[in-house]
Structure 1
């Protein structure tokens, strides 16, 4: 799109060329330093189509644009090229960052908002595929549960593999989109994502002792990174700085060959040696803590697990729970953790359906309904990355709904007898020995309560169209 007309409107509305001292931009905002802010017509600027919000902070007149900020910025430079070479710009960037992040609390909030903004912006291009894949997997599970289709049939294996592909190769795809967002090399970061899920790496992670020796007695543990999110985001962020340094020390004539491969080697080892051990320790601690908490008090444990499970998904820390679930199903024929996980999908569905019903934005409404259906099929990622992380109040309302549903499930001793939960997996809550009993009643009550509470709270307090998304606020 051509943003020249919008750029001219913005220039006129801030008081014209003579009133603009400097102009910089961050990820989502145009940051003007005006000679006289009283000359800026805030109401007129807010009525410009590309403008989301006006903010005045750190001595700047900030116009929130969103993901198109670079395009609008370039259009303004096309009209006022002097702003591209202003000597005060670099000084302004440094002083602005210093003022904004001078306190630890401000630094932490700024970093958190930036992380969430990058995460959601990186996920948005693939949200539709995630939602569609989740719905497809849910339909297949429903057909298998109804006895219409066998999970050994060739058609099932093919379609299920197609639906699984986006989740299995998530590090590759997310590496590409995150790199584009952060300004690092998309191909190099995508290759690092592919390295993380290479059959050799997956094979090592499946060993009884999942580690590989590097030199002498020094060995590094290897994780299964299929479907992971956090490590590749770290790689995309670090990649920008690694590339900048490599381009300084490597001659121009050979940069095209050596910069990408050296970057891949450096960042791959950084993930294996630093990120993987950190995630391993956190994952093991979380898994042990959750098991202990549920054993100590089912009501409290269920409430805490229900509230915080979506956060585990965001950081990719939910994977270590899967072996516990599989072991419980294999040894005991039932699982408490998997049953509680099922509840969280219904709470998330309640929130996103509330958003879909309340919003007047057609595209956002469509996303809400498709993501909600995906939740009912047990796949929560589209809702988390496409809606809930973008609107924090909706996320908090979801946590409350899931906490209450989890507490009820813990109090009623809910278990699941199969691996598929949510709405589509209701047969998994039927006792294979006794049929429909109190466990199925607990399933209906806990899931329904989580859905209704999350829906009502989100509709009343969690979302409205005037709210600014976190990836536009950062």
Structure 2
């Protein structure tokens, strides 16, 4: 029940359950495919404190939740009545080609992202154990753990057959069977036999067959699944209801499996090899440049969900070439954002930022950078840029060193183990380590010294005590908005004083400190307060809401009343204000800021009522 309220809020902001075509999740995001994206309210959803960010990219409405995304996904599915049998969005959905491609790839791979990462980590740890002499390849312990780590990759066509079948709108069990046929022991034996000198050729109905090893392959089964799903739809369309439940699958496997071995498989394998060798050719021409470009742009791709377009290429490289250079290059991009977050953690004086940075560092080390990026580095801008610059430099070092990964897994600290060459530690591994450490330290140092506003990190000069700061707590919960972003020139210019704005998530305004009510507008849309320490605050609910009169507003205090922290001051009808076409951005202004030593915002991108919002110096 913990996430039911958040699930209900998310559903209401995506246009309701009737507007959902499909829903999957990756490591940190809910990925919605919506029937009408115009019905979604991204800005409203961003104000929810349980949501880190909302991104519309690749034909998907992506809601960034964090590490507990699986629990929220289950709650949303329960609220919306979605099941595994709920039809998925198909490739025929409208949208540009790139968006449809990203949607297809993410929809196929995200369902098993967790076990994919876990298998890669276990492979890396086994490689480390062999190098360190803790295990030998002929030991029973190694064989059992190797089987556990390699099973997903060996039988990848089965797993991809299932997820691709769901994505293309067909029966996932039919397409899984097709994947099973590609990795059937009989077909593996036929492939091995065909490699022997003088081996006799095989045929299907007189047509010569070229047997290939499809274990670990990606593209053949995806194309075969698409063909099977198309055949299934045609069968369901033309076959009689009494027989289509078993004749449609019969046609799919009887036609698609031979077609895959005869045409789809060889063509897809040729395409796989072209992609792998094409990438390798580009990489060989200027590996340092490829490393710098990927290191700089990877996190930008992650923000928009475009990184999924590269995942099949990495897996394909390992399947075709036995190794991949892209995965090591991307590790500095991850560590660049981790380093920037470390710089924030060490430098900031904001308790909330420090707490968020601490948890984000831990997540980032294990490859989950979204909490750090959306919660800290991207809103602060310079840390994100420093992280990308450091990622470019580190990626250039890794590319120049020729580092390789020998098993697939999403970039994290364990990727270093996956980069251990079969022959043991060499310069390529050290290059990967050096590039990653350089990215981590460089972004951390740059962020520590130049990544945060001076007002939030000012040190005590010459050992002298800094002027005392008076804290103004948040009078409402919601998304924090810089004052210069408020759509009103008077507030945005700072003419009425320094401060910040909040886009409220509910209709309550509470006292941000102990003091008294200094003023209350007749329309009750704005209230002035004076703290016991002399800070004057104006809270103005919405922009131009004076035109609404006192209809949406209810005051619970009067001028001259004494208030304590958290006392209810005002209530307002949030829905009525929005329905009338008014902006809910609520400026919180320090009216006497000219007579203070400065005002700084201490809250992050979202805040709860009663949490620190502003610090007034002097």
Q: Structure 1 length as normaliser, TM-score?
A: 0.57
Q: Is contact 1:30–1:63 with CA below 8 Å preserved after alignment?
A: no
Shift in Å, 1:161: 0.9
Q: Is contact 2:291–2:329 with CA below 8 Å preserved after alignment?
A: no
1:26 to 17, 21, 26: 21
Between the aligned partners of 2:186 and 2:218, the Cα distance in structure 1 is: 20
Secondary structure of the residue aligned to 1:318 is helix
Match of 1:252 in 2: 241
Secondary structure of the residue aligned to 2:417 is coil
Q: Is contact 1:279–1:317 with CA below 8 Å preserved after alignment?
A: no
Between the aligned partners of 1:233 and 1:256, the Cα distance in structure 2 is: 23
1:280 lines up with 2:269 in the alignment: yes
Question: Is 301-310 or 198-207 further displaced after alignment?
Answer: 301-310
2:97 to 105, 108, 121: 108
Kindly report which structure 2 residues correspond to 1:175-190, keeping only aligned pairs within 5 A, or say none.
Answer: 175-190=161-176
Match of 1:208 in 2: 195
Q: Is contact 1:290–1:305 with CA below 8 Å preserved after alignment?
A: no
2:183 to 187, 192, 197: 197
Secondary structure of the residue aligned to 1:219 is strand
Q: Output one character per residue of 1:296-343: Cα deviation in whole Å (capped at 9) or x when no partner.
A: 5554466679889995642443145436x6xxxxxxxxxxxx6x4563
Instruction: Give the superposed CA RMSD.
Output: 6.0
1:163 to 149, 154, 163: 149
Number of aligned pairs? 382
2:417 to 424, 430, 435: 424
Q: Output one character per residue of 1:68-107: Cα deviation in whole Å (capped at 9) or x when no partner.
A: 88876669xxxxxxxxxxxxxxxxx9xxx99x95xxxx52
Shift in Å, 1:247: 1.9
Match of 1:322 in 2: 321
Between the aligned partners of 1:439 and 1:400, the Cα distance in structure 2 is: 22
Secondary structure of the residue aligned to 1:317 is helix
1:145 lines up with 2:145 in the alignment: no
Shift in Å, 1:399: 9.4
Q: Is contact 2:126–2:142 with CA below 8 Å preserved after alignment?
A: yes
Between the aligned partners of 2:396 and 2:45, the Cα distance in structure 1 is: 50
Q: Output one character per residue of 1:127-161: Cα deviation in whole Å (capped at 9) or x when no partner.
A: 1x233333332322222211122121111111211
Q: Is contact 2:339–2:441 with CA below 8 Å preserved after alignment?
A: no
1:266 to 252, 255, 264: 255
Distance 1:254 1:368, change over 3 A: farther
Q: Is contact 1:204–1:222 with CA below 8 Å preserved after alignment?
A: yes
Between the aligned partners of 1:54 and 1:219, the Cα distance in structure 2 is: 49
Secondary structure of the residue aligned to 2:242 is helix
Shift in Å, 1:345: 6.1
Distance 1:246 1:114, change over 3 A: same
Distance 1:231 1:135, change over 3 A: same
Q: Output one character per residue of 1:212-232: Cα deviation in whole Å (capped at 9) or x when no partner.
A: 53354x435444322333443
Between the aligned partners of 1:304 and 1:48, the Cα distance in structure 2 is: 34
Distance 1:259 1:67, change over 3 A: farther
Higher RCO, 1 vs 2 (CA within 8 Å, ≥6 residues apart) = 1
1:350 to 335, 338, 346: 335
Q: Is contact 2:160–2:221 with CA below 8 Å preserved after alignment?
A: yes
Secondary structure of the residue aligned to 1:259 is helix
Secondary structure of the residue aligned to 1:448 is helix
Between the aligned partners of 2:337 and 2:250, the Cα distance in structure 1 is: 42
Question: Is 248-257 or 353-362 further displaced after alignment?
Answer: 353-362
Between the aligned partners of 1:25 and 1:47, the Cα distance in structure 2 is: 20
Q: Is contact 2:292–2:394 with CA below 8 Å preserved after alignment?
A: yes
Kindly report which structure 2 residues correspond to 1:10-25, keeping only aligned pairs within 5 A, or say none.
Answer: 25=20
Secondary structure of the residue aligned to 1:252 is coil
Q: Is contact 1:299–1:408 with CA below 8 Å preserved after alignment?
A: yes
Between the aligned partners of 2:273 and 2:120, the Cα distance in structure 1 is: 27
Q: Is contact 1:290–1:301 with CA below 8 Å preserved after alignment?
A: no
Secondary structure of the residue aligned to 1:225 is coil
Q: Output one character per residue of 1:421-463: Cα deviation in whole Å (capped at 9) or x when no partner.
A: 952267649988xxx8x777645433434666799999x9xxx
Task: Decide which structure has greater helix share.
Answer: 1
1:123 to 112, 116, 129: 112
Task: Decide which structure has greater strand share.
Answer: 2
Q: Is contact 2:121–2:418 with CA below 8 Å preserved after alignment?
A: no
Between the aligned partners of 1:197 and 1:151, the Cα distance in structure 2 is: 24
Distance 1:202 1:66, change over 3 A: same
Match of 1:328 in 2: none
Q: Is contact 2:121–2:415 with CA below 8 Å preserved after alignment?
A: no
Q: Is contact 1:193–1:232 with CA below 8 Å preserved after alignment?
A: yes
Between the aligned partners of 1:452 and 1:31, the Cα distance in structure 2 is: 45
Which structure's CA Rg is the greater one?
2
Secondary structure of the residue aligned to 2:215 is coil
Q: Is contact 1:42–1:54 with CA below 8 Å preserved after alignment?
A: no
Between the aligned partners of 1:293 and 1:41, the Cα distance in structure 2 is: 39
Shift in Å, 1:26: 3.1
Shift in Å, 1:162: 1.6
Match of 1:90 in 2: none
Q: Is contact 2:4–2:76 with CA below 8 Å preserved after alignment?
A: no
Between the aligned partners of 1:291 and 1:166, the Cα distance in structure 2 is: 25
Between the aligned partners of 2:19 and 2:266, the Cα distance in structure 1 is: 39
Q: Is contact 2:181–2:187 with CA below 8 Å preserved after alignment?
A: yes
Distance 1:130 1:356, change over 3 A: farther
